[in-house]
């Protein structure tokens, strides 16, 4: 359980943190380390990021945050998410996110920074941050949905389905949960057949022409989460959620 790296030309990074894959502080840093390790290995051609259990990722472990005195867990979660999102974006090879079930909060940050998204037909995506007294990952949601829908999703905390994202082109393929891993591996195999040096330069070049600096943009969002916490709104909403 936890974060597992299965090395190989097609490396797999697997999240398995019951009951809902809401990662604790250390889990986000472990995820970042696994992705970095995979990308730095010259034998790796592509990384598949996936999860075991009920859903892909439910964001941060709010219960950990509430049972930890002071701001240590809040700061730790912010730094951990930043590290994990950045590791996926900066990974030296393409990252394919294979998403099933729910992909919420920090999960959207992971998927939004991936290069390719494959999803099961029961997958859905959303940012419940406003209902939790926090902000963040709109940077990454904006890479998945059009601007006005992104704003509506932030304000209302509504979700979108894999089928909707497929119509936008941000999900490459929608398949059954049973076939999700195999479908992701099939796409990964197509990339793994290419010249690895060229693929690594392609990843570097695509990041270089990105119109938005996702790390700077996300860090700006995180600042407002600190403000909400200092004003009491963050703790109030998190406490309500954990009752």
pLDDT greater than 90 at residue 187:
yes
User: What pLDDT shows up at residue 16?
Assistant: 98
Is residue 6 predicted with pLDDT exceeding 80? yes
Between CA 44 and CA 37 the distance in angstroms is 10
* DSSP-derived secondary structure for 210-241: -SS-HHHHHHHHHHHHHHHHHTTHHHHHHHHH
* Residue 65: predicted pLDDT: 83
Report the pLDDT value the prediction gives residue 1, as an integer from 0 to 100: 83
Q: What domains appear along the chain, each with residue ranges and CATH number?
A: 2-178+196-242 (3.90.226.10)
CA pair distance 86, 109, nearest whole angstrom: 9
**Per-residue pLDDT, 117:** 98
CB of 133 within 8 A of CB of 168? Answer: no
pLDDT band at 88 (very low <50, low <70, confident <90, very high): very high
Nearest to 56 by CA among 130, 120, 11: 120
- What confidence category does residue 241 fall into, taking pLDDT thresholds of 50, 70 and 90? confident
For residue 235, the model assigns a pLDDT of: 79
pLDDT of 229 reads 87
> How far apart, in Å, are the Cα atoms of 79 and each of 9, 29, 185, 202, 229?
29, 8, 30, 28, 16
**What pLDDT digit, counting tens, does each position of 112-151 carry?**
999 999 999 999 999 999 999 999 999 999 999 999 999 9
In angstroms, rounded to a whole number, what is the distance separating the alpha carbons of residues 77 and 65? 8
**Tens-digit pLDDT profile for residues 198-226:** 999 999 999 999 999 999 999 999 999 88
pTM over 0.75: yes
- Cα gap 111→154, rounded to integer Å: 16
Mean pLDDT over all residues of the chain?
Answer: 96
Using only C-alpha atoms, what is the Rg of the chain?
17
- Can you give the pLDDT at residue 97? 99
Q: What confidence tier does 107 reach under pLDDT thresholds 50, 70, 90?
A: very high
* Cβ–Cβ < 8 Å for 73, 25: yes
Cα separation, 149 vs 228, in Å, equals 24
How far is CA 19 from each of CA 16, 57, 98, 137, 222, rounded to the nearest angstrom? 9, 10, 19, 23, 26
Say which range, 30-34, 92-96, 192-196, 230-234, has the weakest mean pLDDT: 230-234
Length of the chain: 243
């Amino acid at each position: 359980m936890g974060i597992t790296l299965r090395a190989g030309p097609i490396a797999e990074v697997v999240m398995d943190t019951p009951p809902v894959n809401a990662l604790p502080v250390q889990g986000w840093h472990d995820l970042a380390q696994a992705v970095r390790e995979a990308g730095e290995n010259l034998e790796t051609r592509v990384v598949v990021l996936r999860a075991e259990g009920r859903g892909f990722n439910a964001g941060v472990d709010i219960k950990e945050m509430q049972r930890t005195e002071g701001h240590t867990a809040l700061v730790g979660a912010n730094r951990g998410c930043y590290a994990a999102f950045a590791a996926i974006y900066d990974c030296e090879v393409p990252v394919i996110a294979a998403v099933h079930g729910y992909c919420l909060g920090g999960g959207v940050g992971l998927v939004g920074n991936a290069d390719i998204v494959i999803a099961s037909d029961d997958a859905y995506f959303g940012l419940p941050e406003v209902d939790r007294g926090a902000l963040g990952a709109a940077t990454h949601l904006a890479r998945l949905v059009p601007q006005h829908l992104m704003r509506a999703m932030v304000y209302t905390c509504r979700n979108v389905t894999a089928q909707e994202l497929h119509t936008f082109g941000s999900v490459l393929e929608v398949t059954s949960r049973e076939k999700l891993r195999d479908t992701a591996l099939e796409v990964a195999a197509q990339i793994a057949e290419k010249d690895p040096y060229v693929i690594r330069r392609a990843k570097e070049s695509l990041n270089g022409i990105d119109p938005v600096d996702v790390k700077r943009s996300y860090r700006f969002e995180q600042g407002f989460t600190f403000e909400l916490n200092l004003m009491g709104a963050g703790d109030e909403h998190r406490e309500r959620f954990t009752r």
